[in-house]
């Protein structure tokens, strides 16, 4: 596969933002090369990127997910119009280091990666745990984030989400992989949702070469510590998101058992400039199940007039 690569691993334009690759229109996420960049914090970050030379859309992955856990069908739709960057944060998958146990540190680590790429103007799409990190990045570096997509998200401190429901962490938190448990959390019990889930899993596994390193047990433990920390009830912290002044798109599945839709409503009630959409007959993996609809909604949101 023809692919331009600078010695730094990132093609740069004159304005300092990474450039589009000549052949990105024909690439699928499933065939992208793994790239790597060394950041000032000493860690080497694994990532994949493609799409035209727009303001980049940075993807923040879910609990225990690596680069291979993004559905190519969704990303290819996004990358048809936007530069899309997926990365492993510190300690996750192909990125060096150990995974920290707080969302705040994950944001710091993500910013070190973005600084290494020279990106200082960006849109963020965070999914689940990744949406917590994306919120944190938007709060810590408000001057650099233009638009924010929060998929299956919740504000820090919201009551009732501490550590997720027991059956949810049992399904996705076991030491060995548990595809049935994954399907139970990411898809509803309807046949339509289940078969969409199977199709999405198939697309994720279609990549045969250069798959990402599996996430470790250390990552699982530290990320779940961070999730539990985020969920400690604190009525005051819930209101942190009221200071996110950029446009935000909040999205969730109507029967997500991991992060309930109520928290999307809560975000929509707190964030000043917000759009909310709840996708029907869908659970945690609504964005993969409804990949066409969600990609269209995200692209429309990103191209809205300010």
Residues that bind its own copies (CB under 8 A): 158-160, 235-236, 238-239, 242, 262-270, 272, 274, 276
Nearer to its own copies, 251 or 266 (CB): 266
CB of 265 to its own copies, least distance (A): 4
Task: Kindly tell me which of 17 and 156 has the beta carbon lying closer to its own copies.
Answer: 156
Q: Of the two residues 5 and 239, which places its CB atom closer to its own copies in the complex?
A: 239
Least distance (Å) between residue 276 CB and its own copies: 7
Residue 153 CB, shortest distance to its own copies, in Å, is 12
Asked if 77 and 295 touch (Cβ cutoff 8 Å), the reply is yes
Give the residue with the Cβ less far from its own copies, 121 or 273. 273
Decide: helix, strand or coil at residue 286.
helix
| Closest separation in Å from C-beta 235 to its own copies | 4
| Nearer residue to its own copies within complex by CB, 156 or 264 | 264
Tell the smallest beta-carbon distance from residue 32 to its own copies (Å).
37
Task: For the CB of residue 289, give the shortest distance to its own copies in the complex, in Å.
Answer: 22
Cβ closest to its own copies, residue 11 vs residue 268? 268
Ordered DSSP codes for 86-123 = EE--TTSTTS-S---SSHHHHHHHHHHHHHHHT--SEE
Q: Shortest approach of its own copies to residue 236 CB, angstroms?
A: 6
Is residue 123 within 8 A of residue 148, CB to CB? The reply is yes
* CA gap 6, 262 in Å, rounded: 45
Q: What share of the chain is helix, strand, coil (3-state, %, to 5)?
A: 40, 15, 45
Q: CB nearer to its own copies: give 139 or 299.
A: 139
- Tokens 């070469």 found at: 209
**Dist. CA 138–CA 153, nearest whole Å:** 14
Beta bridge partners of 37: 45
For 166-212, the DSSP string reads HHHHHHH--SS--HHHHHHHHS-SSHHHHHHHHHHHHHHTT--SSPP
**Nearest residue (CB) to its own copies, 2 versus 236:** 236
State how far the Cα of 40 lies from the Cα of 44, in Å rounded to an integer. Answer: 9
CB of 45 to its own copies, least distance (A): 34
Angle (CA) 5-11-15 rounded to 5° is 170
68 near 211, Cβ under 8 Å? yes
Q: How far apart are CA 192 and CA 294, in angstroms?
A: 17
CB of 279 to its own copies, least distance (A): 16
Measured from the CB atom, is 32 or 238 closer to its own copies? 238
What is the C-alpha to C-alpha distance for residues 302 and 306, in angstroms, rounded to an integer? Answer: 9
């Amino acid at each position: 596969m023809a692919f331009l690569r600078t010695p730094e691993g990132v093609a740069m334009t004159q304005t300092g933002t990474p450039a589009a690759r000549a052949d990105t229109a024909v690439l699928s996420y499933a065939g992208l090369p793994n790239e790597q960049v060394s950041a000032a914090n000493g860690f080497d970050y694994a990532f994949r990127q493609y799409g035209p030379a727009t303001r980049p859309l940075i993807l923040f992955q879910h609990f225990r997910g690596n680069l291979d856990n993004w559905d190519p069908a969704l990303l290819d739709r996004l990358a048809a119009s936007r530069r899309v960057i997926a990365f492993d944060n510190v300690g996750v998958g192909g990125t060096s280091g150990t995974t920290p146990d707080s969302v705040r540190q994950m944001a710091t680590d993500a910013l070190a990666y973005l600084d290494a790429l020279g990106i200082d103007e960006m849109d963020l799409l965070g999914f689940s745990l990744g949406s917590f990190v994306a919120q944190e990045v938007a709060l810590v570096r408000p001057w650099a984030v233009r638009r924010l997509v929060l998929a299956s998200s919740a504000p820090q401190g919201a009551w009732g989400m501490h550590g997720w429901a027991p059956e949810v962490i049992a399904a996705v938190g076991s030491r060995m992989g548990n595809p049935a448990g994954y399907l139970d959390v990411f898809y509803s019990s309807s046949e339509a949702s289940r078969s969409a889930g199977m199709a999405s899993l198939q697309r994720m596994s279609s990549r045969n070469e250069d798959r990402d390193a599996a996430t470790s047990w250390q990552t699982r433990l530290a990320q779940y510590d961070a999730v539990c920390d985020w969920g400690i009830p604190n009525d005051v912290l819930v209101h942190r998101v009221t200071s996110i002044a950029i446009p935000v798109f909040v999205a969730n599945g109507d029967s997500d058992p991991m992060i309930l839709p109520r928290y999307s409503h809560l975000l929509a009630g707190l964030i000043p400039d917000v759009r909310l959409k709840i996708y029907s007959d869908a659970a945690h993996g609504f964005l993969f199940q409804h990949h066409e609809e969600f990609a269209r909604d995200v692209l429309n949101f990103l191209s809205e007039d300010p």
